[in-house]
Amino acid sequence: MQGYIVKRILIAAFTVFTVLTVVFFVFRLGPADPVMVMLPPNATPQDAENLTKKFGLDKPLMVQYGNYLKNAFRGDFGSSFRFDEPALRVLLMRFPATLKLGLVTFILSVTVGLSIGLISAVKPDSIIDRIGRLFALAGMSLPSFWVGIMLILFFGVTLRWLPIAGRGTPLHYIMPAFCMSLYPIALITRLSRSSMLDALKSDYVVMARIKGVPEFYVILVHAFKNASIPVITVIFGIFGALMVGSAVVVEYIFSWPGIGRLVMESFFARDYPVVQVFVIVVTCMVVTLNLIVDIIYAYIDPRIRYQ
Amino acid sequence: MHSNQDNLLELQDVTTTFFTKQGEVRAVDGVSFSVGKGEVVGLVGESGCGKSVTSLSIMRLVPQPAGKIVSGRILFKNEDLMEKTAEEMRQLRGDRISMILQDPMVAMNQLLTVGKQLGEPYKFHDKVRGSLREMCIRLLEKVKVPAPESRVDDYPFQFSGGMSQRALIAMGIANNPDLLIADEPTTALDVTIAAQVLKLMKEIQRETDASIILITHDLATVAQICTRVIVMYAGRIVETAPIKIFYKNPAHPYSVGLIRSVPVLGQPVDRLFSISGQPPSLFAMPKGCRFAPRCNKAEKKCFKHYPPETWLDENHSVACWLYPGD
User: ipTM for the complex?
Assistant: 0.90
**SS3 of chain A: helix, strand, coil, percent, to 5:** 80, 0, 20
- Residue of chain A whose Cα is closest to the Cα of B168: A207
**CA pair distance A252, A248, nearest whole angstrom:** 6
Q: Cis (ω within 30 of 0) for the bond into A40?
A: no
**A·B CB contacts under 8 A:** 85
pLDDT (0 to 100) of residue A194: 95
Q: Residues A234-260: pLDDT tens digits?
A: 888 777 766 677 788 888 889 888 888
Q: Per residue in B246-272, is it b (16+ CB within 10 Å) or e — as a string?
A: bbeebbbbbbbbbeeeeeeeeeeeeee
Q: Residues A84-100: pLDDT tens digits?
A: 889 999 999 998 998 88
**Residues of chain B numbered 188-247 and touching chain A (CB < 8 Å):** none
Residue A1 and residue A303 in contact, taking contact as beta carbons nearer than 8 Å: no
pLDDT (0 to 100) of residue B326: 55
For A131, phi then psi, to 5°, come to: -65, -45
E-strand stretches of chain A: none
> Using CB atoms, which residue from A211, A222, A301 is nearest to B121?
A211
Residues 6+ positions from B255 with CB-CB distance below 8 Å: B231, B238, B239, B241, B246
Is residue A80 very low, low, confident or very high in pLDDT (cuts 50, 70, 90)?
confident
- Is there a contact between A211 and B168 if contact means CB atoms under 8 Å apart? no
pLDDT (0 to 100) of residue A233: 84
Q: Give A-chain residues touching B113 at CB under 8 angstroms.
A: 302
Torsion of CA A274, A276, A280, A286, to 10 degrees: 90
Angle CA A235–A238–A240, to nearest 5:
90
| Comparison of pLDDT for A41 and A46, the residue scoring more | A46
pLDDT (0 to 100) of residue A31: 66
Q: Tell me if chain A has a CB within 8 Å of the CB of B23.
A: no
Q: Are strands B228-233 and B7-20 parallel, antiparallel or unpaired?
A: unpaired
Q: Residues B224-251: pLDDT tens digits?
A: 889 999 999 999 999 999 999 999 999 9
Q: Are strands B211-216 and B179-183 parallel, antiparallel or unpaired?
A: parallel
DSSP class of A223: I
- Is there a contact between B107 and A204 if contact means CB atoms under 8 Å apart? yes
Distance from CA of A229 to the nearest CA of B (A): 11
- Is there a contact between B121 and A125 if contact means CB atoms under 8 Å apart? no
Mean pLDDT lowest among A1-5, A15-19, A102-106, A177-181: A1-5
Distance from CA of A206 to the nearest CA of B (A): 8
Residue B203 has pLDDT above 60, yes or no: yes
> Using CB atoms, which residue from A202, A211, A222 is nearest to B171?
A211
SS3 B262: coil
What is the helix (H) or strand (E) element at residue A103, kind and residue range? Answer: helix A87-122
What are the angstrom distances between the C-alpha of B23 and each of B13, B52, B290?
Answer: 22, 20, 19
Residue A180 has pLDDT above 80, yes or no: yes
Residue A178 has pLDDT above 50, yes or no: yes
Q: Give B-chain residues touching A214 at CB under 8 angstroms.
A: 90, 124
Q: DSSP letter string over B113-132?
A: -HHHHHHHHHHTTT---S-H
pLDDT (0 to 100) of residue B80: 94
**Residues of chain B numbered 43-82 and touching chain A (CB < 8 Å):** 56, 59, 61, 63, 65
Largest CA distance in chain A: 86
Q: Per residue in A237-268, is it b (16+ CB within 10 Å) or e — as a string?
A: bbbbebbbebbbbbbbbbebbbbbbbbeebee
- Is there a contact between B110 and A306 if contact means CB atoms under 8 Å apart? no
> Using CB atoms, which residue from A202, A212, A303 is nearest to B90?
A212
> Using CB atoms, which residue from B56, B93, B110 is nearest to A211?
B93
**CA pair distance B232, B186, nearest whole angstrom:** 19
Strand partners, B35: B9
Percentage of residues of chain B with pLDDT beyond 90: 58
Is residue B1 very low, low, confident or very high in pLDDT (cuts 50, 70, 90)?
very low
Average pLDDT over residues A250-271: 87
**CA pair distance A110, A187, nearest whole angstrom:** 10
Average pLDDT over residues B150-176: 92
Average pLDDT over residues A136-160: 90
- Is there a contact between A204 and B61 if contact means CB atoms under 8 Å apart? no
Q: Give A-chain residues touching B171 at CB under 8 angstroms.
A: 207, 211
- How close are the terminal C-alpha atoms of chain B, in Å? 16
**CA pair distance A287, A15, nearest whole angstrom:** 8
- Domains of chain A, CATH where assigned: 2-73 (no CATH), 87-305 (1.10.3720.10)
Q: Tell me if chain B has a CB within 8 Å of the CB of A120.
A: no
- Residue of chain A whose Cα is closest to the Cα of B172: A211
Average pLDDT over residues A289-304: 88
Is residue B4 very low, low, confident or very high in pLDDT (cuts 50, 70, 90)?
low
pLDDT (0 to 100) of residue B71: 93
> Using CB atoms, which residue from A125, A207, A221 is nearest to B101?
A207
Angle CA A162–A163–A167, to nearest 5:
130
Average pLDDT over residues B302-317: 90
Among B99, B120, B183, most A C-beta atoms within 10 A, so best to mutate, is B120
Q: How many residues does chain A have?
A: 307
Exposed / middle / buried, residue B195 (Cβ in 10 Å: 0-12, 13-18, 19+): middle
Residues 6+ positions from A55 with CB-CB distance below 8 Å: A34, A35, A78
Q: Tell me if chain B has a CB within 8 Å of the CB of A299.
A: no
Q: Tell me if chain B has a CB within 8 Å of the CB of A204.
A: yes
Residue A196 and residue A121 in contact, taking contact as beta carbons nearer than 8 Å: yes
> Using CB atoms, which residue from A202, A225, A301 is nearest to B106?
A202
Exposed / middle / buried, residue B309 (Cβ in 10 Å: 0-12, 13-18, 19+): middle
**CA pair distance A277, A272, nearest whole angstrom:** 8
DSSP class of B293: G
Mean pLDDT lowest among A54-68, A200-214, B18-32, B46-60: A54-68
SS3 B227: coil
Q: Tell me if chain A has a CB within 8 Å of the CB of B94.
A: yes
Q: Tell me if chain B has a CB within 8 Å of the CB of A216.
A: no
Q: Residues B255-295: pLDDT tens digits?
A: 999 888 887 778 777 888 888 888 888 788 888 899 998 98
Does residue B325 come out as left (phi exceeding 0), alpha (psi in the -120 to 50 range) or beta? beta
- Is there a contact between A210 and B155 if contact means CB atoms under 8 Å apart? no
- Is there a contact between B171 and A207 if contact means CB atoms under 8 Å apart? yes
Is residue A32 very low, low, confident or very high in pLDDT (cuts 50, 70, 90)?
low
**CA pair distance A143, B28, nearest whole angstrom:** 50
Residue B67 and residue B18 in contact, taking contact as beta carbons nearer than 8 Å: yes
Among A210, A216, A225, most B C-beta atoms within 10 A, so best to mutate, is A210
What are the angstrom distances between the C-alpha of B292 and each of A14, A53, B233?
Answer: 69, 96, 11
> Using CB atoms, which residue from B91, B109, B124 is nearest to A204?
B109
Q: Give B-chain residues touching A225 at CB under 8 angstroms.
A: 109, 111-112
Q: Residues B108-151: pLDDT tens digits?
A: 999 999 999 999 999 999 999 999 999 999 999 988 899 999 99
For A168, phi then psi, to 5°, come to: 160, -60
Among B60, B62, B109, most A C-beta atoms within 10 A, so best to mutate, is B109
Residues 6+ positions from A190 with CB-CB distance below 8 Å: A117, A136, A140
Residue A299 has pLDDT above 90, yes or no: no
**CA pair distance B325, B309, nearest whole angstrom:** 8
Mean pLDDT lowest among A29-33, B41-45, B68-72: A29-33
Distance from CA of B249 to the nearest CA of A (A): 37
Residue A196 and residue A118 in contact, taking contact as beta carbons nearer than 8 Å: yes
Residue A17 has pLDDT above 60, yes or no: yes
Q: Give B-chain residues touching A122 at CB under 8 angstroms.
A: none
**CA pair distance A117, A191, nearest whole angstrom:** 7
- Is there a contact between A300 and B94 if contact means CB atoms under 8 Å apart? no
Residue A217 C-alpha from the chain's centroid: 33
| Comparison of pLDDT for B72 and B198, the residue scoring more | B72
Q: Residues A100-113: pLDDT tens digits?
A: 888 899 999 999 99
Percentage of residues of chain A with pLDDT beyond 90: 36
Residue A127 has pLDDT above 50, yes or no: yes
> Using CB atoms, which residue from A203, A210, A302 is nearest to B59?
A210
User: Taking the domains of chain B in order of start, what are their residue ranges?
Assistant: 236-326
Is residue B186 very low, low, confident or very high in pLDDT (cuts 50, 70, 90)?
confident
Distance from CA of A212 to the nearest CA of B (A): 5
Residue A95 and residue A259 in contact, taking contact as beta carbons nearer than 8 Å: yes
Q: Per residue in B210-232, is it b (16+ CB within 10 Å) or e — as a string?
A: bbbbbbbbbbebbebbbebbbbb
- Residue of chain B whose Cα is closest to the Cα of A297: B111
pLDDT (0 to 100) of residue B316: 92
CB count within 10 Å of CB A98 equals: 22
Residue A54 C-alpha from the chain's centroid: 35
**CA pair distance B169, B171, nearest whole angstrom:** 5
